[in-house]
Amino acid sequence: MILTTCAACAAPLSLDAPRCIRCHTRYCNQTCQHDHWRRGHKQICKKIHRGGNAEKYHADKKYKEAVAAAVAATADDYLPATRGFTCYICDTATSEGLVHGGCNCVGPAGFAHMSCLVRTAEIKGDDVERLYGSLADVPEMDDAWDRWSECSLCGAFLKSHVRLALGWACWKTYLGRPEGDEFRMNAMNKLGDAMHYIDMYEAAIAVYEAEIAVRQRVAGPDNDQFCMIGIARRSIAVSCERLGRTEESLEMYHSVHAALLDRSRDNPSYCEGELAAALDLAEALIKQSKYPEAKKLLIPRIREAIRLVGPDATLTLELRYQYAKVLFFDDDGTTADQCKAITTLRNICKIAERWDSSDQMAQSIFGVMQLDLGFWEEAVAAGEGSPERTRAHIAYTRDPLGGS
């Protein structure tokens, strides 16, 4: 259920909350239900039921709102350029407004009808289902579900209301399936991601939580939802961070890491995931100046990464980069520690120069490292032998921890 709050009082609902017998609108309790009925539910209950019940009705409404916003935003941003343009999918200009998802497409390319974008994504989803049966069996390189979030022309993520409308459309497409259906659960994740990427963090968290609850309910011995639950939890951690709910976010990173650590003890295939989760956790700890804890976490993880993926791997170098940050910023750190941090980062950058230049993710990490190296060197020079002055200088010139 994406409808996660009471229709009458907006309080968060438990999963077994009572619901309207006809249209499935959900409430905290009978009092809220009666109250809502008197305040007008009576008049629209039948309409909601005819619209396919509360969940479908809600998704349709949200989709329509997002489409209207997407069309309006496109008209604002691109008019009069859109005059005479056609939809790149159906090649016509009907009365339905064209949208542009803010991807990298320029000129007449990249304009489409929202309904054409949705249909393309649905067809792709059907193909995937026919070919592979389950999303879990789709080879990694296949862009199985990317039509719900990316432009099929330029491959860039779609933005703003277009992304949100596609998120709702995806949910609309699959919500009628049985609760444990893999596509239905993934549709929840797509909607959560759409909300997250357009900065609707509170809404995204509610959707991720609903997704996790469903996955936990359907998880069984042959239907292990562990990885997908971990991904949704990590998304909640990031959303909380963006909302400034740092304690909650840290707790979530802790729980993701602890679960992977536990699994990796009897199953080596989880070891790399555990290291990636440790990297997330270390970054979160450092952002909150919890240096001793980050240090204690990182030292054994770096050793493990060297053994598991090798000394030059991106993951190993990223872990070492976090460790260099601890050395540089820890309040107890000496000038010698700061020099060691700079030497470490310099060595990391030397190895990172050989990273695959087509790997955008790796290249952006490399860019941040090089920037930091420059700032650190400058700060040490300005601090003239006082580690406190060095730290003060860097705090003054920029956010030293790369926080967004």
Residues that bind Zn ion (CB under 5 A): 6, 8-9, 11, 20, 22-23, 25, 28, 32, 45, 87, 89-90, 103, 105, 110, 113, 116, 151, 153-154
Report cis status (omega within 30 of 0) of the bond before 108: no
11 vs 395, beta carbon nearer Zn ion: 11
Contact 237, 259 (CB under 8 A): no
- The CA distance from 240 to 250, in Å, is 9
* Least separation in angstroms between CB 5 and Zn ion: 8
Rg (CA), the chain: 25
- The CA distance from 27 to 10, in Å, is 9
Which residues lie closer than 8 Å to 343 by C-beta, 6 or more apart? Answer: none
* Burial (CB count <10 Å: 0-12, 13-18, 19+), residue 341: buried
169 vs 319, beta carbon nearer Zn ion: 169
176 vs 311, beta carbon nearer Zn ion: 176
The CA angle 180-186-187, to the nearest 5 degrees, is: 105
* Least separation in angstroms between CB 92 and Zn ion: 6
* Burial (CB count <10 Å: 0-12, 13-18, 19+), residue 196: buried
10 vs 395, beta carbon nearer Zn ion: 10
54 vs 277, beta carbon nearer Zn ion: 54
Q: Which amino acid is at 374?
A: G
Contact 151, 105 (CB under 8 A): yes
Contact 194, 186 (CB under 8 A): no
114 vs 298, beta carbon nearer Zn ion: 114
151 vs 198, beta carbon nearer Zn ion: 151
* Least separation in angstroms between CB 118 and Zn ion: 10
* Least separation in angstroms between CB 272 and Zn ion: 32
Residue 143 φ/ψ, nearest 5 degrees: -85, 50
* Least separation in angstroms between CB 401 and Zn ion: 33
CA 174 to mean position of chain CA atoms:
20
- The CA distance from 141 to 268, in Å, is 23
* Least separation in angstroms between CB 359 and Zn ion: 21
* Least separation in angstroms between CB 150 and Zn ion: 8
* Least separation in angstroms between CB 168 and Zn ion: 18
Q: Which amino acid is at 104?
A: N
100 vs 257, beta carbon nearer Zn ion: 100
- The CA distance from 256 to 280, in Å, is 10
89 vs 313, beta carbon nearer Zn ion: 89
- The CA distance from 326 to 337, in Å, is 9
* Least separation in angstroms between CB 206 and Zn ion: 15
